[in-house]
Amino acid sequence: MGAHRNSPKQKSTTLKFLLDLDLRQDSSRQKHSNPEHDEILSVISYCSYTYTFTDPLESPSQQNHKCDSLLKLLSIIKLQKKPFPNDILLPLFAMISTNLFRPLPPPNTSIVSILPDDDDLVTTPTAAWPHLHIVYDILLRLVISVEEKVLREYINDSFILNLLALFESLDPRERDSLKIVYHKVYLRLHASRSFMRKAMNDVFLYYIFETDKKHCGIGDLLEIWGTIINGFSIPLKEEHKIFMMRVLIPLHRPKGMQAYHKQLAYCVYQFLEKEPKLGFVVVRGILRYWPMTNCQKEVLLIGELEELVENMGTEQYKILALPLCRQIIKCLNSWNSQVAERALYVWNNERFVKMALEAVDDVFPIIVEGMEKNLKWHWSESVRQLTENVKEMLEKMEPILYSKCLSQLDHHDSATNEEEVRRKERWQRVEMAAKMNQLGQE
């Protein structure tokens, strides 16, 4: 009473699996009957019923009884020393699938509004968590204890895809459990690793290019990827470089990047740490996806660029100095004080300053123009003060060049003003000629 099985739509996805299960169970039972196994099968059968925890007709006592049954099953699995036979594993994995693979509620918060620390916005507790968390523990124990060859029969491609779909859960507790299980499966099933990486990549690409809906599990999947990248051998394989260029770099594009930026930056940093020559590709890619109106995103990207510069090879400094400094100057001229201040603090980084000096003749004119613009026009007093401090530091480092650039800037401003005056005079003459022509026609 109050219990229900999965919907027909859910059953259809594993219909062949369940038919095979029944056939194999019948044949095995005909051969022998084990009282201990019969008890386990009875518990598994009872646990295959699912509860929504939202239906008022459901019996709390039955819900509690299922919880006790799941705990009993978990205890049996932990204490089991001999491998389970197929007639136990088949219904056990079927029970796990029935409980876990279910329709998820739609997201109720726009991803655009999610900030890195706004956990409340993305936390929606799953009502059935009292049962689900035990089912996840059971699955984890099986992944750890069952032999790889046997495990591969039950955790197939379809099972893996169903696990990935659950990363859209709004409950962070469930995503944490999924993260542990998915990573353990990756470690155990060597033959499935390529498929598991590709399946995760498909989730990323769909999120980047096919939908504007939020996906709460992007950060968790990137966290898994971070541990995978950490195990890559050097030199990196071509497929791994392609993943970085076609997946990780475009992940800087979505509006909701703030929600997973920490994990994304770690993955990118891992690649650069293993192969510093990729710095050029990474930096140019980030600059390509630079936001136009998202100030919070700009602050995060400035910090990421600063960290990348610290890990890049010095041979790349001269190539990247101009595009990087041009973007930083645009940011320090931003009317948003947070963006401007974060860009100014970059100049406290010795490695960044060293990079700028590698192309000093090209970079300094842009820097001087940006500094003087801030000192004259920026509305924020704190930004003007920080700009003054950076200006003093740069003047001490390159006094002659700074003075030369300042003179060139003054000359350019003077020439621009003169041209503006001449333009206005020409326009006035045109207007006067038009008036005279109109009077002559009258």
In 3D, which of 267, 227, 269 has the Cα closest to residue 247? 267
Distance between CA atoms of residues 428 and 425, nearest Å? 5
Q: Token pair of 295, please? A: 């100030």
Amino acid 122 reads V
| Residues 370-392: tens digit of each pLDDT | 888 999 888 999 999 999 999 99
pLDDT at 319: 87
Do 86 and 230 contact (CB within 8 A), yes or no?
no
DSSP-derived letter for residue 336 is S
Q: How far is CA 371 from CA 359, 374, 386, in A?
A: 18, 5, 10
What pLDDT band is residue 251 in, cutting at 50, 70 and 90? very high
Burial class (CB in 10 A: 0-12, 13-18, 19+), 139: buried
Query: Is the omega angle on the peptide bond into residue 235 within 30 degrees of 0, that is, cis?
Result: yes
pLDDT at 245: 93
pLDDT at 96: 95
What pLDDT band is residue 412 in, cutting at 50, 70 and 90? low
Q: Token pair of 98, please? A: 């029935």
Decide: helix, strand or coil at residue 50.
strand
296 vs 397, more confident: 296
Region 289-302 average pLDDT: 93
What pLDDT band is residue 409 in, cutting at 50, 70 and 90? low
Number of H helices, E strands in the chain: 22, 0
Percent of the chain with pLDDT over 90: 48
pLDDT at 419: 78
Please check the confidence at residue 46 and state whether its pLDDT lies above 60: yes
Amino acid 389 reads N
Region 30-49 average pLDDT: 79
Do 272 and 278 contact (CB within 8 A), yes or no?
yes
Please check the confidence at residue 2 and state whether its pLDDT lies above 70: no
pLDDT at 414: 62
Do 141 and 194 contact (CB within 8 A), yes or no?
no
In 3D, which of 171, 169, 163, 167 has the Cα closest to residue 220? 167
Please check the confidence at residue 120 and state whether its pLDDT lies above 70: no
C-alpha angle 380-384-388 in degrees, rounded to nearest 5: 170
End-to-end CA distance of the chain, in Å?
98
Decide: helix, strand or coil at residue 33.
coil
Residue carrying the six token digits 């169903």: 162
pLDDT at 93: 95
pLDDT at 184: 96
pLDDT at 442: 64
pLDDT at 361: 84
Residue carrying the six token digits 């136990």: 88
C-alpha angle 169-175-178 in degrees, rounded to nearest 5: 115
pLDDT at 112: 41
224 vs 35, more confident: 224
Among 67-81, 115-129, 208-222, which is the least confidently predicted range?
115-129
**Mean residue pLDDT across the chain:** 85
Q: How far is CA 27 from CA 20, 93, 312, 335, 438, in A?
A: 11, 18, 63, 75, 106
What pLDDT band is residue 11 in, cutting at 50, 70 and 90? very low
Please check the confidence at residue 82 and state whether its pLDDT lies above 70: yes
Distance between CA atoms of residues 253 and 297, nearest Å? 10
Please check the confidence at residue 21 and state whether its pLDDT lies above 80: no
pLDDT at 438: 79
Q: How far is CA 393 from CA 253, 344, 357, 386, 428, in A?
A: 34, 12, 13, 11, 46
Percent of the chain with pLDDT over 70: 86
| Residues 122-171: tens digit of each pLDDT | 567 888 899 999 999 999 999 999 999 999 999 999 999 999 999 999 99
Amino acid 337 reads S
pTM: 0.81
CB atoms < 10 A from the CB of 6, how many? 18
pLDDT at 306: 92
| Residues 184-195: tens digit of each pLDDT | 999 999 999 999
| Residues 314-360: tens digit of each pLDDT | 778 888 889 999 999 999 999 999 999 999 999 999 989 988 888 88
In 3D, which of 439, 107, 410 has the Cα closest to residue 259? 107
Strand partners, 50: 4
Q: Token pair of 76, please? A: 């049996």
310 vs 197, more confident: 197
Distance between CA atoms of residues 274 and 259, nearest Å? 26
DSSP-derived letter for residue 273 is H
Decide: helix, strand or coil at residue 75.
helix
Distance between CA atoms of residues 175 and 171, nearest Å? 7
Please check the confidence at residue 172 and state whether its pLDDT lies above 60: yes
Distance between CA atoms of residues 366 and 329, nearest Å? 7
pLDDT at 32: 52
What pLDDT band is residue 118 in, cutting at 50, 70 and 90? very low
